[in-house]
Structure 1
Amino acid sequence: MVLLYVFGAVALINCAYYLLFSKFSFLTVAKNNVSETPSISLIICAKNEAKNLQKNIPLWQQQTYPNFDIILINDASVDESLEVMEAFAEKDKRIQIVNVKNNEAFWASKKYALTLGIKRSKNNRLVFSDADCYPASKEWLAIMASKFSSEKQLVLGYGAYEKQPGFLNKIIRFETLMTAVQYFAYAKAGNPYMGVGRNLAYTSDLFYETKGFMSHMKISSGDDDLFVNEAATAKNVAICTEPEAFTYSFPKKKKNKWLTQKKRHYSTAKRYKPKHRFLLAVYYSFNLLFWLLAVATLFTEFWVYGLAIIFIRFLFQYIIIGKAATKLKEQDLILLIPFYELFLVVTQLSIFISNSGEKNSRWK
């Protein structure tokens, strides 16, 4: 009977988190009435991205926002990235190039390259994406820019992955979905903790007030989530969830490459503020406990009650995460949400274990 009570308590905490996530799932997106269009800079940092730049620069140039420039940062590429940038810059005066060369102090540091790009901008409002990302529409820049105000200095967007065949693609998109649900919901609850560099915006004033990336310059990841964790407050963050303002990129096609990417990203979580580390640790720990206790409870004489607890917890999950998946155009993931969650819980546990003691200070 004690096992059943513990299982019920774990499921209750799971449901409490889902109620928190509902702040995003059931959020109504207000229409943007933009009367002013101050200058903004779109900043793209590229390292060996010649092919992606060739495809995506025209999409950035076609944005309908009337007053923007594009700052392309060549981060010590050894391919033809710089040549591609220069070819486009010759035909478009809005494009500025920052050519970064490696130095001993900041060897292979994306944050160093981004800092030089930010310093090049004459505009206070900055929008960021990656060289391998393309916007969902020509309105992307305009919608992201519309979220700025005198109070809102940091805008969190959704960086999605393309739908492709295969189980790995669904897992990658589910993990991306759940990450977004959390950082959007926490932001709406007045406790923002991260964002993704594939679709992010902030002011240069905020960047300099936070002293840029100095507190975590030597860490390979974190130009997005660690900066947001340090700079974001309950009042200065806005979220952008209009589908026209999503960005898309191509996910990894091999599991080992995706796991390597996730190991690097998860390693930054230990640098979050203590309250965020605690809340995230409780969420993941109690997800793991739910699955362990669910199996254990079904092998007791109280299995019927255990089944009822599982049903209620799954009902919360389907309603709230299903609604969020619809909002973020990931409807094809809804049917197998519990299965994807179980796989992700096991994967994350293995990553957390393998990350212990590992260090990686270079961006590749």
Structure 2
Amino acid sequence: MIEVFQAILLGSTFILSIYWLLAWVKITTYQTSQTSEVQPVSVIVCAHNELNNLKTLLPILLDQNHPDFEVIVVDDRSDDDTYDYMLEAQNDRLKNVRVDQVHDHINAKKYAITLGVKAAKNEILLFIDADCTPNSSGWIQQMTQGFLPSTDFTLGVSFYSRAKGFLNQYIRYETLLTAVNYISWAQLGNPYMGVGRNLAYRKSTFLENKGFNKYQHVTGGDDDLLVNQLAHKKNTHVVVGAASLTFSVPKQKWSSYFKQKLRHFSVSKYYKTKDKLLLGLQNLCNLLYWLSLFILASQTNLYEILGGVLLFRWVILINLNYFTSKKFGDRMNSWLVPILDIFHVAYVTITGSIAIFTKKVQWK
């Protein structure tokens, strides 16, 4: 039996190491392609009771260094004076879309996004959440300059702002690992998700494929399910770098973060079978790694070998954390990686298991 756990430990170490090293190389050596043509863009922001965040975000968006864009704010049933603020915010680039009621046949946020898409005058749509801010005045230009005639999707990276406490450290670590996953997989020809906090796609692609029709009842997934359904190797572009980055306001409480991650995990059950298998293999390897390591540590005296295997894992993860976050434009604290790694595997296992059996989650 000891030999079985040794094989599991070495096998999981090999699989994870190959993936992490491949992701490290793909991301850190990537050069974002550009086109010389400046393309008109419609920036879409969905907001439900986001008055204070809109007061921060809109001036930044309207001051973007891009010659041809509009900003569409979809006011989704807000009762915090968002409507009055939008009436007073006079700007030729700004357009307000008001949602007064929820429809039973479609999730509220998906309905809001659909109205925003239909109201857009431009072909290229760029999405950002109301509680986010672009990291530069060139954000629109960076996120859209790679749109070739064959491009339908551009995937960007969005991190969370720094704050004190372990929760913030973990949120930022988990967000980095998620970005490493979907950016590197897209580079390898298998785009499986994106984040609505920094995502661009064509209006025609959305409308021709009937938008969210296949999963309009699902809470969440307005970003990753659309990418999972329609994106592929030939029509997807990724953008990395500080100028293309956005930052979002992180959760302050574990309970709020748990609800957010539960929503994210619950959506992944609607992914393509191939993507569910690949993600499942990754999570299974992480879980088996730690289980076999603990069992061997308690049942054998191979402490030097086990310590070497563990050190090998953490050296790769620390370097992956350091160099990919630097490439993305926001360097993370690498010294906490060993603690965050252990916590991450446990948290993902527990939350993911709960999400499988959760039937109803909420957006807002």
TM-score (norm 2): 0.95
Show the counterpart of 1:307.
Answer: 307
User: Superposed, which structure 2 residues align to 1:162-177 within 5 Å?
Assistant: 162-177=161-176
Contact 1:10/1:289 (8 A) holds in 2 = yes
Change (3 A) 1:254 1:262: same
Show the counterpart of 1:133.
Answer: 132
Q: Within 1, Cα distance between the matches of 2:276 and 2:233?
A: 17
Contact 2:173/2:332 (8 A) holds in 1 = no
Q: Within 2, Cα distance between the matches of 1:240 and 1:221?
A: 23
User: Superposed, which structure 2 residues align to 1:171-186 within 5 Å?
Assistant: 171-186=170-185
Question: What's the CA shift for 1:361?
Answer: 5.6
User: Superposed, which structure 2 residues align to 1:1-364 within 5 Å?
Assistant: 1-2=2-3, 3-30=5-32, 32=34, 34-88=35-89, 91-106=90-105, 109-299=108-298, 300-360=300-360, 362-364=362-364
Question: What's the CA shift for 1:82?
Answer: 1.4
Task: Provide the secondary structure at the position in 2 that maps to 1:252.
Answer: coil
Which amino acid in the other structure matches residue 333 of structure 1? N
Q: Aligned pairs, how many?
A: 361
Which amino acid in the other structure matches residue 82 of structure 1? Y
Gaps of 5+ in 2: none
Judge which range, 267-276 or 3-12, deviates more: 3-12
> 1:121-153 CA distances to partner (integer Å, 9 max, x unpaired)?
121101000111111010001111102111122
Which amino acid in the other structure matches residue 321 of structure 1? N
Judge which range, 282-291 or 16-25, deviates more: 16-25
Task: Provide the secondary structure at the position in 2 that maps to 1:51.
Answer: helix
Q: What is the root-mean-square deviation of aligned Cα atoms in Å?
A: 1.7
Contact 1:24/1:181 (8 A) holds in 2 = no
Q: Within 2, Cα distance between the matches of 1:76 and 1:107?
A: 15
Question: What's the CA shift for 1:6?
Answer: 2.3
Q: Within 2, Cα distance between the matches of 1:103 and 1:166?
A: 37
Question: What's the CA shift for 1:193?
Answer: 0.2
Contact 1:45/1:74 (8 A) holds in 2 = yes
> Percent of counterpart pairs with the same letter?
34
Question: What's the CA shift for 1:106?
Answer: 4.5
Q: Within 1, Cα distance between the matches of 2:106 and 2:362?
A: 7
Change (3 A) 1:317 1:65: same
Contact 1:177/1:328 (8 A) holds in 2 = no
Contact 1:298/1:306 (8 A) holds in 2 = yes
Question: What's the CA shift for 1:334?
Answer: 1.3
Which amino acid in the other structure matches residue 78 of structure 1? D
Which amino acid in the other structure matches residue 70 of structure 2? D
Contact 2:154/2:199 (8 A) holds in 1 = yes
Contact 1:25/1:320 (8 A) holds in 2 = no
Change (3 A) 1:108 1:362: farther
Q: Within 2, Cα distance between the matches of 1:209 and 1:104?
A: 22
Q: Within 1, Cα distance between the matches of 2:158 and 2:53?
A: 16
Which amino acid in the other structure matches residue 75 of structure 1? D
> 1:286-329 CA distances to partner (integer Å, 9 max, x unpaired)?
11111122222223133332222223233332333331122234
Contact 2:132/2:246 (8 A) holds in 1 = yes
